[in-house]
Amino acid sequence: MSAHVVSMRDALYEAPGPKMRRRIRVVTIFALALIAIGIALVVRQFHITGQLDPRYWTLFTRTTTWAFLAQGFLGTFRVAFTAGAIALVLGLVLMLGRISEAAWLSTVSRLVIDFFRGVPSLLLIYFFYLVIPKYGIKMPSFWMITLPVALAASGVLAEVFRAGVNAVPKGQSEAALSLGMSDSKIMFKIVFPQALRIVIPSLVSQLVVVVKDTTVAYVVSYPDLMQNARVLISNYDALVSMYFVVAIIYIIVNFAINQFSIYLAHRRGTKIISRNDENPV
Amino acid sequence: MGIQELFSTYGENYLQALVQTWSMTAISFSCALVIALAITVFRVSPIKPLRILGDFYVQVFRNIPGVSLLVIIIYALPYLGLTLDYKIGAMVTVTMVVASFASENLMTGINTIGVGQIEAARSVGLSFGRILRHVVIPQAVRSAILPMTNLLIGTLLTTALASQVPLKPPELTGMVNYVNSRSVGGIGAFFISAIGYAGTSLVIGYVGNLIDKKVRILR
């Protein structure tokens, strides 16, 4: 959250007088009490259903548990970064096609981008998992999860790149054109380097989407964090604790990526372009 | 199996799947908007614990992978004494995730209004409620149309999570699984579902763009 958010939040209210301050204090205490009661109720529910029993939690004191989870995390990491790298290249190619002067190329690229943006990644995963093998193509489980995740991300990245290219002032390419530079030279020497700088924070924040998409790797039985957690669950019979711990790991990882992208955006003075800010399909 | 054969055998099922996806999308999105409104009110309120609670909600649910939340709601909650129907569980998952993004959209909408406007409104003597009603909300809603359109499409895509639970009838993504477990659906089975999603997104995007053009504030 940038400093701007806080200032707008605070600007909504006048500086409170003594009466208002008292009221705020009362409501604050009331809210605190309600939150405390809520937390207590959740803990109580864990307790009366026996989920706080040490046998569900002692597995987290063993190094083997964490080693196995770390192994799974490495799998998640591998899929996410490979998919991210592929999506980066593919997204760039699709964007170049989309803004090309050739009408047919632009139309085809647009269709491909819209298709990948308009279809859930899970459907693409089922395509690679259920449909492709029917045509006699054998693929390791790593690619059955990585390729669909990459394809889904490439559509979004293409639009992020395009937003970046559009953000470079038009006068620059006009100036380059008047110097006699060719279209491709203008793109790669003038526009794209600047566009890339603008979109780097957005690219980082898209990594969160990729990491989230990898969590269904168990569909193709690739050993990622979630899949390894499921193995541990069947070994230790500790479903509730394990699913909660894994969820917290994912939240922390994604939170860190998000914060990093916000930091980058802040340092470069650019905005993060997310799927929500793009033009809808 | 060709597309024609697929349609004659599974046409009815595909229709049901499409309706299932649509109903889950509509219900989840509406509920998410209501929750997002409440959370956003929390986040801009002067009550510190509520602000923190709102921020916490958003950070947790925008960062949790949908599947991770789904398995907790469907498979872990029954151990804690709360068993939800598969469809309800899937919709709760989608709703909670979408609500966090919707709240972010609303916050961005509020932030596009300059602090100066609030100060101006206050200096002409508008009360807090009136500032909200006449200055903040109209502008925030208008500038949130496009992000919310995208979020509705996002909701549509997120409902694909429901394919991970035995839903009856299955939704569009689950249909690919359903067809392939009964006959060789091949590429056609995938494409019918894909067109169901892409076509719906296209219509939502088109309508959203129209509304946005009508109400957009040119700055």
pLDDT digits (tens, 9 = 90+) for A34-78: 999 999 999 999 999 999 988 899 889 899 999 999 999 999 999
Provide the CATH number for the domain around residue A161. 1.10.3720.10
In this prediction, residue B1 carries a pLDDT of 63
Contact: A120, B198; criterion CB under 8 Å: no
Count of alpha carbons within 13 angstroms of residue A183, beta-carbon side: 5
Q: Is the pLDDT of residue A187 over 60?
A: yes
Total domain count, chain B? 1
Interchain CB contact of A246 with B (< 8 Å): yes
Inter-CA distances, B139 with B101, B112, B142, B144, Å:
19, 8, 5, 8
Rounded distance between C-alpha atoms, residue B95 and residue B27, angstroms: 8
Within this chain, do residues A22 and A88 fall inside the same structural domain, yes or no?
A: no
Interface test with A, best of B190, B191, B200, B212 (most A CBs within 10 A): B190
Is A119:B160 a contact under the CB 8 Å cutoff? no
Question: Do A34 and A73 fall into the same domain?
Answer: no
Note whether B31 contacts A: Cβ–Cβ < 8 A: no
Name residues whose C-beta falls within 8 Å of residue B211's C-beta, 6 or more positions apart in sequence: B145, B149
Q: Is the pLDDT of residue A281 over 70?
A: no
SS (H, E, C) chain A: CCHHHHHHHHHCCCCCCHHHHHHHHHHHHHHHHHHHHHHHHHHHHHHHCCCCCHHHHHHHHCHHHHHHHHHHHHHHHHHHHHHHHHHHHHHHHHHHHHCCCCHHHHHHHHHHHHHHHCCCHHHHHHHHHHHHHHHCCCCCHHHHHHHHHHHHHHHHHHHHHHHHHHHCCHHHHHHHHHCCCCHHHHHHHHHHHHHHHHHHHHHHHHHHHHHHHHHHHHHHCCCCHHHHHHHHHHHHCCHHHHHHHHHHHHHHHHHHHHHHHHHHHHHHCCCCCCHHHCCCC
d(CA A281, CA A203): 19
Residue A195 counted as domain residue: yes
**pLDDT mean over A95-103:** 92
Give the tens place of pLDDT for each residue, B110-152. Answer: 888 888 898 899 899 998 889 888 998 888 888 889 999 999 9
Is the CB of A275 less than 8 angstroms away from the CB of B187? no
Positions in chain B whose pLDDT score sits under 50: none
Domain membership of residue A244 as a residue range: 65-277
**Which of 139-178 (B) contact A at CB < 8 A?**
146-147, 149-151, 153-154, 157-161, 163-164, 172-173, 176-177
pLDDT at A211 over 50: yes
Here the CATH number for the domain that contains residue B119 is: 1.10.3720.10
Which residue on chain A is closest to B180 by alpha carbon?
Answer: A130
Tokens 């998409």, residue located: A213
The distance of Cα B186 from the centroid of its chain, to the nearest Å, equals 30
Please judge whether B161 and A131 are an interchain contact, meaning their C-beta atoms are less than 8 angstroms apart.
no
Do residue A20 and residue A144 come from a single domain? no
Interface A:B, Cβ pairs < 8 A: 188
pLDDT tops 80 at residue A277 = no
In chain B, which among 47-106 make CB contacts under 8 A with chain A?
Answer: 47-51, 53, 55, 59-60, 62-69, 71-72, 75-76, 79-81, 101, 104-105
Type of residue at A255: F
Instruction: For residue A33, tell me if it sits in a domain.
Output: yes
Instruction: State how many domains chain A has.
Output: 2
Q: Which domain holds residue B133?
A: 3-215
Q: What is the pTM of this model?
A: 0.91
pLDDT at residue A17 tops 90: no
Whole-number Å distance between alpha carbons of B104 and A9: 13
Structure tokens at A206: 């898209």
CB B71 within 8 A of CB B162: no
- ipTM score of the complex? 0.91
A154 and A95 share one domain:
yes
- The C-alpha atoms of residue A260 and residue A272 are separated, in whole angstroms, by 11
